[in-house]
């Protein structure tokens, strides 16, 4: 995937940057503000070439960046916030809950040991530890978030755009909506199902949160959505309904993978995601499986069993 810049709607430009991750690109958006201003939504990964990439985008578009909005703290969205702020002199705006998680994940509170212990508690084999550490260190080097951002309040507005809290993919995930145009971040993606994972220190029921976010999109009936990855979404409510159906099938499959003897989220993930996966993706699969298992357990449709530092699930 090459870096690209295109106008996707009147006054909305999309900057696409290549990523050296499981997913090969990310989209950031520039929203026209007044005569010659811009609001930038999301910043890409903080790779060494991030400044250069942004400089070339801003040189082409001209005008002044008035503010930078971060939809959520994942590395491909928040990663270049600090260099972009430095390049433009614009303030960074981020939700408070999201920034707290950003600090825990990428800041001085970052703890690879705690993350590893969490994955172990849910059945991940010990020999994944080394790759987790190496990949985590590399990724964290690519996250240059901005410290002390201006807080964003869901329900308020940014330059006429309504700020929506659409948790699920990330607890504090924010999106922008104006005149039926949804700048969705990763709350809605055209062809893949956004990863909904349960991690240590996150809200207890991310799948429940996500299904509510999808129902909200169905209610709001945006005209079009521009997402963090993949193509434009011409029928966001229809896509939200597809994702609700997808998770309902996955919940059935999750229940079917359980029996009377407790199984860890890792073991259930091998049933739900049977194809061989690189270890990084296997961790996403584990977290996604755990979100489904916990959704069931919280509604008495599965039984959570905690024993000897290991958490497992069985039929209710």
Question: Residue numbers of the site for Zn ion (CB under 5 A)?
Answer: 76, 186, 228
Give the alpha-carbon dihedral of 229, 96, 156, 89, to 10 degrees. -70
Question: In the complex with Zn ion, which residue's Cβ is closer, 44 or 83?
Answer: 44
Question: In the complex with Zn ion, which residue's Cβ is closer, 123 or 136?
Answer: 136
Closest approach of Zn ion to the CB of residue 26, in Å = 6
Closest approach of Zn ion to the CB of residue 21, in Å = 9
Question: In the complex with Zn ion, which residue's Cβ is closer, 186 or 294?
Answer: 186
Measure Cα distances from 94 to 27, 99, 150, 163 in Å: 18, 6, 6, 11
Name the nearest CA neighbour of 33 among 156, 159, 157.
Answer: 159
Question: In the complex with Zn ion, which residue's Cβ is closer, 186 or 205?
Answer: 186
Question: In the complex with Zn ion, which residue's Cβ is closer, 206 or 228?
Answer: 228
CA-to-CA distance for 281 and 14, rounded, in angstroms? 27
Question: In the complex with Zn ion, which residue's Cβ is closer, 76 or 294?
Answer: 76
Question: In the complex with Zn ion, which residue's Cβ is closer, 194 or 262?
Answer: 194
Residue 188 CB burial class (10 angstroms; 0-12, 13-18, ≥19): buried
Closest approach of Zn ion to the CB of residue 140, in Å = 16
CA-to-CA distance for 278 and 158, rounded, in angstroms? 39
CA-to-CA distance for 98 and 15, rounded, in angstroms? 23
Closest approach of Zn ion to the CB of residue 232, in Å = 16
SS (H, E, C) 93-143: EEEHHHHHHHHHHHCCCCCHHHHHHHHHHCCCCHHHHHHHHHHHHHHHHCC
β-pair type (174-178, 161-165): antiparallel
CA-to-CA distance for 199 and 46, rounded, in angstroms? 23
Closest approach of Zn ion to the CB of residue 27, in Å = 9
Question: In the complex with Zn ion, which residue's Cβ is closer, 198 or 312?
Answer: 198
CA-to-CA distance for 286 and 290, rounded, in angstroms? 6
DSSP 270-300: HHHS-S---HHHHHHHHHHHHHHHHHHHHTT
């Amino acid at each position: 995937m090459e870096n690209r810049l295109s106008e996707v709607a009147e006054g909305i430009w999309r900057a696409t940057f290549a990523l050296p991750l499981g997913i090969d690109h990310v989209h950031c958006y520039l929203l026209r503000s007044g005569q010659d201003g811009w609001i930038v939504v999301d910043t890409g990964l903080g790779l060494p070439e991030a400044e250069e990439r942004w400089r070339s985008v801003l040189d082409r578009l001209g005008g002044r960046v008035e503010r930078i909005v971060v939809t959520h703290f994942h590395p491909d969205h928040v990663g270049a916030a600090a260099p972009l702020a430095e390049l433009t002199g614009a303030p960074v705006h981020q939700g408070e809950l999201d920034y707290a998680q950003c600090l825990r994940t990428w800041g001085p509170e970052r703890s690879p040991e705690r993350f590893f212990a969490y994955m172990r508690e849910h059945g991940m084999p010990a020999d994944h530890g080394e790759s987790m550490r190496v990949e985590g260190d590399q990724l964290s080097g690519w996250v240059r978030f901005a410290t002390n951002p201006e807080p964003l309040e869901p329900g308020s507005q940014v330059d006429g755009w309504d700020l929506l809290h659409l948790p699920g993919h990330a607890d504090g995930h924010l999106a922008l909506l104006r005149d039926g145009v949804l700048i969705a971040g990763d709350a809605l993606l055209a062809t893949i199902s956004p990863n909904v994972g349960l991690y240590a220190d996150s809200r207890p029921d991310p799948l429940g949160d996500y299904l509510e976010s999808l129902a909200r999109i169905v209610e709001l009936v945006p005209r079009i959505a521009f997402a963090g990855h993949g193509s434009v979404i011409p029928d966001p409510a229809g896509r939200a309904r597809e994702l609700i159906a997808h998770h309902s099938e996955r919940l059935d499959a999750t229940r079917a993978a359980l029996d009377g003897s407790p199984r860890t989220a890792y073991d259930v993930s091998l049933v739900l995601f049977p194809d061989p996966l690189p270890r990084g993706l296997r961790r996403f699969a584990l977290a996604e499986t755990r979100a489904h298992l916990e959704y069931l357990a919280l509604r008495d449709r599965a039984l959570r069993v905690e024993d000897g530092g290991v958490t497992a699930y069985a039929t209710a």
